[in-house]
Every structure is written in structure tokens, then in C-alpha cells.
Amino acid sequence: MGSIKHIFNEIHYEMTRKVAEGGMGLVYEAHQLGAGNFKKVVAVKLIREEYSAIEEFQKNFIGEARLVADLIHTNIVQTYHLGQIGGQYFMVMEFVRGVNLEVFIDKHRSLDRKIPIDLAAFIVSRVARGLAYAHQKHDLEGRHLNIVHRDIGPKNVLMAYEGDVKLTDFGIAKALDLMYNEEGKVIAGKDEYLSPEQASYAVTDARADLFPLGIVLTELLLGKNIFRSADRSQSRRNILSLPIPVFSKLREDIDPKLEAIIGKALQRDRDKRYKSANEMLTDLELYLYSDRYGPTNEKLGVYLKELFGVVDPGGTALPQHPTSVSRP
């Protein structure tokens, strides 16, 4: 890390620690430095040098940065800057001091503790809120970008200790004129979090993000992904043909209203699925708030701090979350 620190110090970024590492890149916690002892905590996403030299990967990384630069929403991780130094591309992003959903689920599993149903639905509703914004996004010329995230899963949902829920990693997103895309020839996404369209090499639209969001909701409720198999191809087959269970038989406090939301999100026929993230968001919020005082960011924040024993979020190390550098 020494040479990286030295290089980035020259452009006013002080790298403090590595928080994640993947095959193609790394994510560091860093301080952005400025005049008058200005210091801001940021995340720096760095492509490994060997991948920075590959044109296809360059285009996708640049495309991701250009795409998310204008995705300014409380439920999406903000991107501040794209740069290149020493032959390596890097992205400066909002630093989320908290955990991702994978860590959150694993923590409950280790404690043999169920995630409260209202908090599970609330977390997914916030992701749906971010997706609704992204799916409806237009460029400066007024063209609909037709964004499809294509990588919805627990690793790509971050939760701040204050209770903010944020979607990240648009590295394999599909968007007008911005991202390298060979849809129909390759499968984009993680096998156990695919939509049936992705698993069958079909062309996707925004509804393809709602099936995996349904998977995430069931994983929060059950503590496991029912489609996951040790064999990747079997996971894809499960996405396409595994009988969808009655989830209230797997967790008895899932009520009929929530069962109906899950069932609609997990429709394999996308014409029977939710038509939009906004429609799914509406149903989740009606479920949460129509007849009672429902969860808030603050309630989730209190729960997270208790769960992870956080006393002072400002001085607590961020548990590692996976890199948001995806394959091209």
C-alpha cells in the first residue's frame, strides 16, 4: 500500500486503509484533503493496473462513473470524481460507515437470531426507492437511460450505522450508450441473484431488478437464499424452475400481505411481476405504514448499533464489505 499512498498523496487523497479487495480492483477508505486543514472521509475505488490497460474494462469503469455521477439520491451511493493516476483509473465515492446486507444476515445467523420482519421489509423498500429513481433517470438531453442494475444482492446494499440504506455497484449496469453490453450472449450478475430473464440469456428491462430484490427480501426473512446451490449452473436452474414455496410455512410470522408482495416480486413471467420498482415500493410502504407506526432510518440505526455493539459510529471501524469493482 506504500506506493499507492505516495501516489495518491500527490493528488490530495490520504489512503488510510483497505476495506475491500476483489479480482479486478480494491476499495480504500481515504481522506480527501483541502485548504485550511479540510478533511473529508471518502471511499476510493481503484482498478488494478493490469485491468486499467484493457480497453473494454476501461470503458465499463468510465461508463459506470459517468452513469452514477448523476444518480444523486439518498438511497444510492454517491460518486464524486473519476480520475487516472500512474496508469490506474480510480473513482472517489461516498464512504458509508456501516455494514452491507451480507454482513448483516451473517451476523443474525451467527447469533441464531431472526431479522425483524418490519426491518427486512423497510430495508428492501429503501432499495426499491433507489431503484425507482435510477430506472426513471433521463440524461441531460431528456433521453430515458433505461438503466437496469443487473447485480442486486446483499453485497451491493450498504447500511450506515445511522440507518441509511444505499444501493451501490452499477459496474455491470445496462444503460443507454454508457456501458459495454453483450446481453443475450453472456450472463451479467451473480447466479443465485439473477432474474429468470438473465438466467435464460434474454434481453432485460427494469423488471429484471425486481426478481432479485424479492430474493433479497426472502433471504432477510429466512436467513438463506433458497435458490443458492454450491454448483453455479444449478443456482441458475433453480432460478428458472425451483418451485416457489409458501414463505409463511417457512416463517410463520410472515402475514398474507407480505406473502403477496413476495409472490408478485418472484413471478417468473415478468408480465405478471411488478411493473416497476415504484409499484413494489408502494406496496411495501402500504404494508409497513397503512395501519401502524412503521420503521424509520432512525429505528434501523438504533437496531444496527445494538446488533454490532457500536457506541460511537464516528470512531468505529467499518466492517469489510466487498469491492464494488465488477467484471466487465
Residue 24 parent element (H or E): none
Reported as half-sphere exposure (CB side, CA atoms, 13 A), residue 267 has a value of 13
Helices (H), the chain: 2-9, 49-52, 55-69, 101-110, 117-135, 196-199, 210-222, 232-241, 256-265, 277-289, 297-308
151 catalytic residue (yes or no): yes
SS (H, E, C) 190-237: CHHHCCHHHHCCCCCCHHHHHHHHHHHHHHHHHCCCCCCCCCHHHHHH
Burial class (CB in 10 A: 0-12, 13-18, 19+), 251: middle
> One of 112, 118, 139, 151 is an active-site residue; which one?
151
The residue whose grid cell reads 438504533 is: 302
In angstroms, rounded to a whole number, what is the distance separating the alpha carbons of residues 227 and 234? 9
In angstroms, rounded to a whole number, what is the distance separating the alpha carbons of residues 191 and 131? 20
Evaluate whether 82 touches 91 at the Cβ level (below 8 Å).
yes
In angstroms, rounded to a whole number, what is the distance separating the alpha carbons of residues 42 and 29? 6
Cα separations (Å) of 202 from 153, 186, 208?
Answer: 20, 10, 10
- Catalytic residue numbers, as ranges: 151
